[in-house]
């Protein structure tokens, strides 16, 4: 039983006892003192009033005690609620993960919670009695704190990000809310600061920013960051009237490594290339990976083209050493395109585009070299765009023509086949040769339509010749490397053969050596599928690619076409003689037909015949011409 309930019982007991005593004693005294009954009755009435008065007083006190016992006193009730609220607040205060600091109106810390101790590393004793500036990191200037105090003074609160220092010395970001507490008169009595440690959020933000701006494979800046830096460098170059250069680097034949050794080795090689580039380019340079096997370097303070070219030369040199990757010794060369600011371009986008054009030039002039962007190159690019749109129209308006060039059997000198070669009868520029539009068609993707059209025309023509009794063994059609590895080629060829009714054995497809080697796995599969249709396959411009003998042996081809570049040197150039001799021997040993193109003189035909070359094609036999102009009887005498 509680103290208050015992008091209430005691009071009730005392009240009862006193009431009985009072009534007994007063009744006895009045009876013995007054004989007169009227007087006695009067005094008994007075006694009754006195008793009632004392009873009222006693009941008042007893009731107060009873209310206290039952907890019914409003003051006490409020007090009890306040106590409960305080107890709850204390639990929240202690359990919350946010640090809480209470300071008095003079700014002296009077209370802290457990989270503050955990976040700051200080004990409560080390903090109490001090001022919050003991946590200052030094990262914010006086203006920051002035603005903070001004906000608290004016609005009673402040919130924002603030960098503070832990006991360990480490500085870290907090999200903090400060609020002032006032009394009834509006006087500030305390300040409460609640804060959370947001270093984890900040770290993930930084990590996110890093991922957005860096290439995950090499950790180099990516295209986004590179473009941004280029813009900054250009702005600073403009201010300081200096120049800068952009080098765009592309690895030559990287695809072969990826396809033959797998993407894992390819990735490791890209990382190793990134390391080498970073080693030669130190501070003042930004090395980036723009994607795939394309890298870029931004050279600050480099106004001279010759200086930029020297850097490009360095890139080519550093690539020369073997890359040791996973027990493989890999060699890879690079091509570099250079564009300089301000002479070549006036903004970052232009600089990047021009370096890319220069890179294209470097690639098309034989790779493993560098090329500079010039005005002439821009004009070339514009020309390419015009031709591309013109070419689309040409296809629709049937301005393309197929010419046929005779192919002769060297031992008999007889015409035994033809090669279909496309021409463009341009309404303004006259007859254009494929060299003027095929490379553009390849870059724009139009080549697939052109090749499909030529294939269809050539097959129809062959069917007509055969129907007219012309004894031709084959019609050869060139297939662009762009189209060769695509699955739709198979569908196209089989449809054309079915539509025209041409015997597949009369069709020969020519594909260049590099098309086969650049994407060897896919190309090999395609070749097997096409061969299964019953047609013949030839490798065009043989000797200009990088075929390995091993790879060549795996290819299901029937013919090698010696590139005209080697035939041109016959019979005087010893190197050309050696190469042609080797190709013929190679073809024969592998059971392949050997076909020489570009024969312009009888001596060349004689020489090739002596080496047992099977077939010959060239201006000496006949130029490419419209189908109707072919002379089937022509058999020029090779040996007098
Ligand atoms: P290619 O397939 O190697 O064709 C042989 C090229 O050498 C032809 O050039 C031909 O006119 C030329 N030529 C033939 N004999 C001689 C000669 O004695 N001396 C010289 N200097 N040249 C000779 P053309 O017709 O200009 O074709 C060039 C290239 O364009 C072709 O080389 C081929 O790669 C490509 N091409 C032609 N037509 C097509 C086509 O329909 N589709 C595709 N994808 N490419 C084609
Ligand atoms: Mg050809
Ligand atoms: Mg050729």
**Domain boundaries in the chain?**
3-72, 90-202, 216-377, 391-629
CA-based nearest residue to 583, from 572, 596, 570 = 596
**Predicted local distance difference test score (pLDDT) of residue 626:** 97
Q: What is the pLDDT of residues 6-26, one digit of tens each?
A: 666 776 777 778 777 877 887
Residue 305 vs residues 244, 247, 294, 450: alpha-carbon distances, Å: 9, 11, 21, 40
- Per-residue tokens: 335: 């091509």
- Per-residue tokens: 376: 């002439």
CA-based nearest residue to 583, from 554, 612, 603 = 612
> Which residue would you say has higher pLDDT here, 177 or 85?
177
Instruction: Give the residue, by CA position, lying nearest to ligand 1 atom 20.
Output: 598
Q: Is 356 in the pocket of ligand 1 (CB under 6 A)?
A: no
Q: Which residues contact 176 (CB under 8 A, 6 or more apart)?
A: 158, 159, 160, 161, 162, 193, 194, 195
pLDDT category of residue 225 using cuts at 50, 70 and 90:
very high
Residue 358 vs residues 115, 289, 335, 419, 430: alpha-carbon distances, Å: 61, 18, 10, 34, 30
Instruction: Give the residue, by CA position, lying nearest to ligand 1 atom 13.
Output: 598
Q: Is the peptide bond before 572 cis (omega within 30 degrees of 0)?
A: no
- Per-residue tokens: 214: 């860096």
Q: Is 619 in the pocket of ligand 1 (CB under 6 A)?
A: yes
| Nearest-ligand number for the alpha carbon of 451 | 1
Q: What is the pLDDT of residues 115-151, one digit of tens each?
A: 999 999 999 999 999 999 999 988 888 999 999 999 9
Q: Is the peptide bond before 571 cis (omega within 30 degrees of 0)?
A: yes
- Taking the centre of ligand 3 as the mean of its atom positions, its distance from the CA of residue 539, in whole angstroms, is 9
User: Within 10 Å of residue 79's Cβ, how many Cβ atoms?
Assistant: 11
> Which residue would you say has higher pLDDT here, 70 or 184?
184
**Predicted local distance difference test score (pLDDT) of residue 344:** 81
Q: What is the pLDDT of residues 515-535, one digit of tens each?
A: 787 667 888 999 999 999 999
- Taking the centre of ligand 3 as the mean of its atom positions, its distance from the CA of residue 409, in whole angstroms, is 17
Q: Is 129 in the pocket of ligand 1 (CB under 6 A)?
A: no
- Asked whether 280 and 271 are in contact (CB, 8 A), the reply is no
The whole-angstrom separation of Cα 434 and Cα 438 is 5
The whole-angstrom separation of Cα 609 and Cα 411 is 7
The whole-angstrom separation of Cα 95 and Cα 114 is 7
pLDDT at residue 4 greater than cutoff 70: no
The whole-angstrom separation of Cα 424 and Cα 430 is 8
CA atoms within 13 Å, Cβ hemisphere of 310: 7
- Taking the centre of ligand 1 as the mean of its atom positions, its distance from the CA of residue 635, in whole angstroms, is 22
Residue with tokens 């202690």: 94
- Per-residue tokens: 389: 């749109």
* Fold of the 391-629 domain: TIM Barrel (3.20.20)
CA-based nearest residue to 436, from 471, 400, 474 = 400
What is the CATH superfamily name and number for domain 216-377? Reverse transcriptase/Diguanylate cyclase domain (3.30.70.270)
Q: Is 438 in the pocket of ligand 1 (CB under 6 A)?
A: yes
Of how many residues is the chain composed?
Answer: 640
561 CA: nearest ligand 1 atom: 3
Q: What is the pLDDT of residues 292-339, one digit of tens each?
A: 999 999 998 886 777 788 888 889 989 988 999 888 888 899 999 999
Q: Is 469 in the pocket of ligand 1 (CB under 6 A)?
A: no
Q: What is the pLDDT of residues 382-409, one digit of tens each?
A: 677 778 888 989 999 999 999 999 999 9
Q: Is 541 in the pocket of ligand 1 (CB under 6 A)?
A: yes
pLDDT at residue 381 greater than cutoff 90: no
- Asked whether 332 and 268 are in contact (CB, 8 A), the reply is no
- Taking the centre of ligand 2 as the mean of its atom positions, its distance from the CA of residue 561, in whole angstroms, is 8
239-245 average pLDDT score: 86
What is the CATH superfamily name and number for domain 90-202? PAS domain (3.30.450.20)
The whole-angstrom separation of Cα 35 and Cα 27 is 13
Q: What is the pLDDT of residues 48-65, one digit of tens each?
A: 888 788 777 777 766 666
The whole-angstrom separation of Cα 48 and Cα 53 is 9
Q: Is 598 in the pocket of ligand 1 (CB under 6 A)?
A: yes
The whole-angstrom separation of Cα 80 and Cα 71 is 9
Residue 223 vs residues 245, 298, 352, 355, 566: alpha-carbon distances, Å: 16, 12, 10, 14, 42
- Per-residue tokens: 498: 């079915």
Q: Is 204 in the pocket of ligand 1 (CB under 6 A)?
A: no
Assign 3-class secondary structure to 446-501. Answer: CHHHHHHHHHHHHHHHHHHHHHCCCCCCEEEEECCHHHHCCCHHHHHHHHHHHHHC
Say whether 438 sits in a helix, a strand or coil: helix
pLDDT at residue 95 greater than cutoff 50: yes
CA atoms within 13 Å, Cβ hemisphere of 516: 28
Instruction: Give the residue, by CA position, lying nearest to ligand 1 atom 7.
Output: 598
pLDDT category of residue 454 using cuts at 50, 70 and 90:
very high
Judge if 90-202 and 391-629 fold alike in CATH terms: no
Least confident segment among 317-331, 363-377, 438-452: 363-377
351-361 average pLDDT score: 91
> Which residue would you say has higher pLDDT here, 227 or 29?
227
């Amino acid at each position: 039983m509680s103290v208050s309930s015992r008091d209430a019982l005691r009071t009730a007991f005392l009240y009862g006892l006193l009431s009985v005593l009072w009534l007994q004693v007063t009744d006895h005294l009045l009876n013995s003192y007054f004989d007169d009954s009227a007087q006695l009755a009067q005094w008994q009435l007075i006694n009754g009033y006195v008793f009632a008065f004392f009873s009222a007083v006693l009941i008042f006190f007893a009731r107060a005690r009873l209310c206290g016992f039952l907890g019914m006193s409003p003051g006490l009730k409020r007090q009890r609620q306040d106590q409960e609220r305080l107890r709850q607040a204390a639990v929240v205060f202690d359990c919350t993960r946010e640090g809480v600091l209470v300071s008095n109106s003079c700014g002296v810390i009077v209370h802290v919670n457990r989270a503050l101790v955990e976040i700051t590393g200080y004990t409560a004793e080390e903090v109490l009695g001090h001022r919050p500036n003991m946590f200052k990191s030094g990262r914010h200037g006086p203006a920051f704190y002035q603005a903070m105090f001004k906000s608290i003074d004016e609005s009673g609160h402040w919130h924002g990000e603030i960098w503070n220092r832990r006991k360990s010395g480490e500085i870290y970001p907090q999200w903090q809310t400060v609020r002032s507490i006032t009394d009834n008169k509006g006087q500030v009595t305390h300040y409460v600061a609640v804060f959370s440690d947001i270093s984890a959020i900040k770290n993930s933000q930084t990590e996110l920013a890093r991922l957005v701006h860096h290439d995950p494979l090499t950790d180099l800046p990516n295209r986004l960051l590179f473009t941004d830096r280029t813009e900054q460098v250009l702005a600073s170059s403009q201010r300081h009237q200096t120049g800068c250069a952009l080098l765009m680097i592309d690895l030559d034949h990287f695809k072969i490594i990826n396809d033959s050794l797998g993407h894992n080795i390819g990735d490791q090689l890209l990382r190793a290339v990134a390391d080498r580039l970073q080693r030669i380019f130190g501070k003042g340079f930004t090395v980036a990976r723009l994607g795939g096997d394309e890298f870029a370097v931004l050279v600050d303070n480099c106004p001279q083209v010759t200086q930029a070219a020297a850097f490009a030369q360095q890139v080519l040199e550093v690539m020369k050493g073997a890359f040791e990757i996973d027990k493989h010794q890999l060699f890879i060369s690079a091509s570099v395109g250079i564009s300089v600011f301000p002479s070549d371009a006036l903004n970052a986008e232009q600089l990047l585009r021009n370096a890319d054009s220069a890179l294209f030039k470097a690639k098309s002039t034989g790779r493993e070299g560098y090329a500079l962007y010039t005005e002439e190159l821009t004009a070339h690019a514009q020309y390419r765009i015009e031709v591309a749109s013109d070419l689309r129209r040409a296809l629709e308006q049937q301005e393309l023509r197929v010419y046929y060039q005779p192919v002769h059997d060297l031992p008999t000198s007889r015409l035994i086949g033809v090669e279909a070669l496309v021409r463009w009868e341009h309404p303004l520029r006259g007859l254009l040769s494929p060299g003027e539009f095929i490379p553009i068609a390849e870059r724009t993707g139009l080549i697939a339509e052109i090749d499909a059209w030529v294939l269809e025309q050539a097959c129809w023509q062959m069917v007509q010749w055969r129907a007219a009794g012309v004894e031709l063994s084959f019609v050869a059609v060139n297939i662009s490397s762009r189209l060769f590895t695509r699955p739709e080629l198979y569908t196209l060829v089989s449809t054309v053969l079915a539509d025209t009714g041409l015997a597949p054995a009369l069709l020969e497809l020519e594909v260049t050596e590099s098309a086969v080697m650049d994407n060897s796995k896919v190309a090999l599969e395609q070749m097997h599928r096409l061969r299964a249709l019953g047609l013949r396959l030839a490798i065009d411009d043989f000797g200009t690619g990088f075929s390995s003998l091993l790879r060549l042996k795996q290819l299901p081809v029937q013919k090698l076409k010696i590139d005209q570049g080697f035939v041109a040197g016959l019979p005087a150039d010893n190197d050309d003689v050696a190469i042609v001799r080797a190709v013929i021997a190679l073809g024969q040993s592998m059971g392949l037909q050997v076909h020489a193109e570009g024969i312009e003189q009888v001596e060349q035909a004689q020489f090739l015949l002596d080496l047992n070359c099977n077939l010959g094609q060239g201006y000496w036999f006949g130029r490419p011409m419209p189908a109707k102009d072919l002379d089937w009887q022509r058999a020029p005498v090779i040996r007098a």
